[in-house]
Structure 1
Amino acid sequence: MEGMTRAEVDKVENKDFALGVGPKRPRDAATLILLDRVGGEFRVLMGRRHMRHAFMPGKFVFPGGRTDPADSRIPVVTGLHPDVECKLVGKRTSTARARAIALSAVRETYEEAGLLIGRKGAFATSKADWQGFADHGVRPSLEALRFVARAITPPGRVRRFDTRFLAAFKDDVAVELADGGPTNELEEIVWLPLAQAKNADVPAITRTVLDDLESQLKEDPLLSPGGSAPFYYMRHNRFCRDVL
C-alpha cells in the first residue's frame, strides 16, 4: 500500500470501511496479534467481524478496539518493557496514555476471544469491563507485549482510528475461557498459519501488517522489545510508511 494515492487506497479498502464523513481526529485504539509457534511455523489468532459492523464488516481481524477512559486506571502487576513504552510514547501520547492503549489491547483480547493475559493472582476492580480478570484470578500484565506496527485510518471513513498493533505469544495467556469472551463482536475465532492468514478475507492494512510481521519474525523469532515498527498513514494524498 505504500505510495498509493488516496483514490487507490479507497478502491482497495472499499469493502473494508464504510466511506463517508467521519471524525476529524482518529481515536486511539489497539489490537493484539497473538502468536503461537507450532513446529517451524507461526500461527496467529483471528476472528471474523459481524456483517452489521460499519468498520471492517465480515473481515477476519485481530482482537482489538478503541481505548476507553477506564483503561488508564487499571493496576497491573508488571508494566510495559521500557523499550516498548519508548516506542509508544510520542508528542501526543504520554506515558500514561501509552499504558492505557496497551491495556485496551489486553482488555479487548479478553472480551472478544476469552483470553486473559497476565499472571495468576488476586485482582479486584470496580470497572465492569475488567471484572472478568477478577472473576478468574488474573492480574493484568503488560511486560509481554511487543509493539510491531501503527496505522492511522485514512480520511473519508465513518470510523477513524490511530491503531497500535501489539504482539504477544500464546504462552503469555494466563487463562483461556472455553466459551470465548463475553462479547459477540468476533465469530469463527481461529488460529491460522501466517501464510493462510494473509490469504484470508482480511483488510488490506491487516495483510500489510502481516507481511511486515512475517519479515520481523524471520529476523527475530522472539520479537525482542524495542525492535523497529512500521507506521502507516496518509499525507498529501499519498499512503506513507515510516519506521519507528
Structure 2
Amino acid sequence: MNEAAVVKAEKEADHHPYRRPVDAATLILIDRSGTIPKVLVGKRHDKVVFMPGKFVFPGGRVDALDNRVPVAAPISKELEANLMKGSPKTPPSRARSLAIAAIREACEETGLCLGRKSDGAAPKLDGVWKPFSDAGLLPDPSGLFLIARAITPPGRVRRFDTRFFTADASAITHHVQGVVHAAAELVELVWVEIGSKPLADLHPMTKNVLNELEKRLATGPLSHEAPVPFFHFYGGRMQRDVLGGSP
C-alpha cells in the first residue's frame, strides 16, 4: 500500500457504531541466536495518521484467497487445535487461513518470506505470492506458534479479531529487496532486544502480547501446550481469558 493510500485509509474517526471484528493475523519473528532474544519491528511512516513513527509488528486482515494457497507443509495439529479454541469458534479452514495470512503479511510488509522448496514441481503463484514462486518456494506455516488472540474494543471504526503468531528467524528463507523504503508503510526494519527502548512505546495491546511472548521464552523452547491468552473487552474493561492450558 503506498503512502497516499495509507493516509486515506487511516483518516477516519476514532469511534464508530458497532462493527463486527474481522479476522487478522500478526507475525512476530524472533532471533534467539544471542543471549537476549530479539524481535523484528518495523517503523511506520511519520506522516500516516494512525500510529505515525511507531514501531509495529507486521500483520493485517485475512484475505479470501489465503486458504487456497498451496503450502510446503500444513500447520501442525497442535496449532490448529489452539486456533480453534475460544469463541467465536474458528473452523479448521479458517485456522489455516490465519496462519497463511501471517506469512503473507510479513512478506508483503517486510520482504521477509517464510517458505520451503516443495517436494514436487512448485505451482506457479502470482499476485502477493509471486515472490515465493520466483524463489521456487511455497509458504511454510509448520513452524508457527500461537502466542495470543485479541479483539479490538467495540466502538472503533476498524475492529479485528487478531491472532498473534511467532516464528524463529531461521524460518526466513527469502528476502525481497526494496519493500521497506522512505515512502512505504514501513520505512525501517529493526531487530531489537526484548525490553529495549524501541519497544517501550508500543500500543498497550502489543505490549501485552510481547509480555506473553517474553514469559513463554523465559520457560524454554516454545510449546503448543502453553496457555494462550485471549484479550477481549466486556463491560468496558479488558478481560484476559485463557484459550488453552492453565492460566
TM-score above 0.5: yes
CA–CA separation in structure 1 for the residues paired with 2:141 and 2:199: 30
Shift of 1:23: 5.7
| 2:99 aligns with one of 95, 98, 102 | 102
Deviations 1:116-175 (A, max 9, x none): 102134533454111111012111111100000111111122211111000000111111
1:146 aligns with 2:145: yes
Give the 3 Å change call, closer, same or farther, for CA 41–65 of structure 1 in structure 2: same
**Preserved CA contact (<8 Å) 2:29 2:166:** yes
Give the 3 Å change call, closer, same or farther, for CA 109–61 of structure 1 in structure 2: same
1:73 aligns with 2:72: no
Q: 1:63 matched to which residue of 2?
A: 58
CA–CA separation in structure 1 for the residues paired with 2:36 and 2:13: 35
TM-score for the superposition, normalised by structure 1: 0.85
Q: 2:9 matched to which residue of 1?
A: none
Shift of 1:22: 5.7
**Preserved CA contact (<8 Å) 2:27 2:164:** yes
Give the 3 Å change call, closer, same or farther, for CA 191–22 of structure 1 in structure 2: farther
Q: How does 1:34-73 map to 2 (within 5 A)?
A: 34-51=29-46, 53=48, 55-73=50-68
SS at match of 2:210: helix
Shift of 1:40: 1.3
TM-score for the superposition, normalised by structure 2: 0.84
CA–CA separation in structure 2 for the residues paired with 1:127 and 1:40: 40
1:225 aligns with 2:224: yes
Q: 1:21 matched to which residue of 2?
A: 16
Q: How does 1:151-230 map to 2 (within 5 A)?
A: 151-180=150-179, 184-196=184-196, 199-220=199-220, 222-230=221-229
CA–CA separation in structure 1 for the residues paired with 2:39 and 2:202: 13
**Amino acid corresponding to residue 106 of structure 1 in structure 2:** I
Give the 3 Å change call, closer, same or farther, for CA 206–18 of structure 1 in structure 2: farther
**Amino acid corresponding to residue 231 of structure 2 in structure 1:** Y
SS at match of 1:40: coil
Q: Structure 1: give runs of 5+ residues left out of the alignment.
A: 1-16
Q: Structure 2: give runs of 5+ residues left out of the alignment.
A: 1-11
Q: 1:11 matched to which residue of 2?
A: none
CA–CA separation in structure 2 for the residues paired with 1:30 and 1:219: 25
**Amino acid corresponding to residue 236 of structure 2 in structure 1:** N
**Preserved CA contact (<8 Å) 2:44 2:187:** yes
SS at match of 2:131: helix
Where in structure 1 do 4 or more consecutive aligned residues deviate above 6 Å?
Answer: none
Q: 1:240 matched to which residue of 2?
A: 239
**Preserved CA contact (<8 Å) 2:192 2:198:** no
**Amino acid corresponding to residue 153 of structure 1 in structure 2:** T
Report how many residues are paired. 227
**Preserved CA contact (<8 Å) 1:63 1:113:** yes
**Preserved CA contact (<8 Å) 2:180 2:186:** no
**Preserved CA contact (<8 Å) 1:50 1:186:** yes
| 1:85 aligns with one of 53, 72, 80 | 80
Deviations 1:199-219 (A, max 9, x none): 443111111111111111101
CA–CA separation in structure 2 for the residues paired with 1:99 and 1:225: 16
**Preserved CA contact (<8 Å) 2:148 2:165:** yes
**Amino acid corresponding to residue 145 of structure 2 in structure 1:** R
Q: How does 1:110-125 map to 2 (within 5 A)?
A: 110-121=107-118, 123-125=122-124
